Amino acid sequence: MTATVIDGKETAKKIREELAIEAKALAEKGIIPGLTVILVGNDPASESYVKGKIKGCAEVGIHSELIRMEPTVTQEELLAEIEKLNQNPNVHGILVQLPLPKHIAESAVIDAISPEKDVDGFHPISVGNMLIGNETFLPCTPHGVIELIKRTGTEISGKHAVVVGRSNIVGKPVAMLLLQENATVTICHSRTPDLAAITKQADILVVAVGKAHMIGAEHVKPGTVVIDVGVNRIETGKLVGDVKFDEVKEIASHITPVPGGVGPMTITMLLKNTVRSAERGLERR
Ligand code: NDP
């Protein structure tokens, strides 16, 4: 059996088209969804992520602003800027590109963003709301993972989902969202002995580790839906996932490629959260 390759680019495009219609409807009511991105320093990877986010905004009709700050900016200065954006009614989403320079506490910065504008879904209030199943901004990559699984037509309820990785930005929230969808969830991490024995039980396998090609055919049960979140640059300069795509493709039912799988969905979910935030603003008016 050869897996169906999940086309994240195409799925992202469809969702962006839907969002463009919603943004247009908002604009007709006098509300232009607005996202402000703060970029501290000039890390090349961060520059490229920010560029993708700004481009995505333009595509769906979100007004975006980029605030650049010197790497020497103090935490107080950054927090003051966030406070200004919290108060600005034209800004529906605030995103501080991570990582930040070492002298700035990321947690203090995340905590400073108003939960009403926390389109990244990283604020502890957003995380808590997600955990108890309240409506909230879901973190973008995990939300994208769930959307991709659903759009394969796979019923998540009752399935055994195994998540490899337990970071706060990917592994843990993916596991929580899968649980909310009524999967039976197992979370694996670096201290898990005999990883293959567990991943082989998965009906849905989500891998978010950051180690090139660590998951091979020996880790996967035939017919599994495999979502590869990992993005790794190998010596040749090529981007690859955590999964050995070519060999796992031969046994999985569905599989995401890298690039072109989860990646395009992450920014799309950010755009979705920003449009939602603008809609909530309208409801409050
Ligand atoms: P982290 O480094 O924060 O977390 C990695 C996780 O993998 C940890 O929980 C770690 O366990 C676990 N791990 C490490 N080694 C092993 C092992 N041998 N066996 C099992 N588990 C292991 O990474 P992130 O969650 O931030 O990112 C993961 C990957 O996803 C990266 O490649 C990143 O680039 C990519 N990514 C992609 C995005 C996208 O949009 N496509 C967005 C965000 C991330 P422990 O906790 O025990 O240390």
**238 belongs to the catalytic site:** no
What is the CA(157)–ligand 1 centre distance, in A? 25
**51 belongs to the catalytic site:** no
What is the CA(207)–ligand 1 centre distance, in A? 8
For the chain, the maximum distance between any two Cα atoms, rounded to a whole number of angstroms, is: 57
For domain 31-114, the CATH superfamily is Leucine Dehydrogenase, chain A, domain 1 (3.40.50.10860)
- The three-state secondary structure class of 4 is strand
Q: Are the C-beta atoms of residues 112 and 159 closer than 8 Å to each other?
A: no
Residue 211 Cα: closest atom of ligand 1: 32
Tens digit of each residue's pLDDT (9 = 90 or more) over 148-179: 999 999 999 999 999 999 999 999 999 999 99
The residue ranges of every structural domain in the chain are 31-114, 140-263
- The three-state secondary structure class of 6 is coil
Residue type, 185: V
**Tokens at 200, concatenated:** 């082989």
Which class is 140-263 in CATH? alpha beta
Q: What is the pLDDT of residue 22?
A: 98
ipTM: 0.99
* Ligand 1, atom 23, residue with closest C-alpha: 209
Distance of CA 167 to the CA centre of its chain: 12
Q: What is the pLDDT of residue 164?
A: 99
Q: What is the pLDDT of residue 285?
A: 74
Annotated binding site for NADP(+): 165-167, 231
Question: Splitting the chain (285 residues) into consecutive groups of 10 residues, what average pLDDT does each group show?
Answer: 95 97 97 98 94 97 98 98 97 97 98 98 98 97 98 96 98 98 98 98 98 98 98 95 98 97 96 97 79
What percent of the chain is predicted at pLDDT more than 70?
A: 100
Per the residue annotation, which of 117, 118, 120, 203 is the catalytic one? 120
Q: Do domains 31-114 and 140-263 have the same CATH topology?
A: yes
Q: What is the pLDDT of residue 281?
A: 84
Q: Are the C-beta atoms of residues 78 and 40 closer than 8 Å to each other?
A: yes
Measured from the Cβ of residue 73, the count of other Cβ atoms closer than 10 Å reads 18
Q: What is the pLDDT of residue 94?
A: 98
Distance CA 16, CA 266 (A): 12
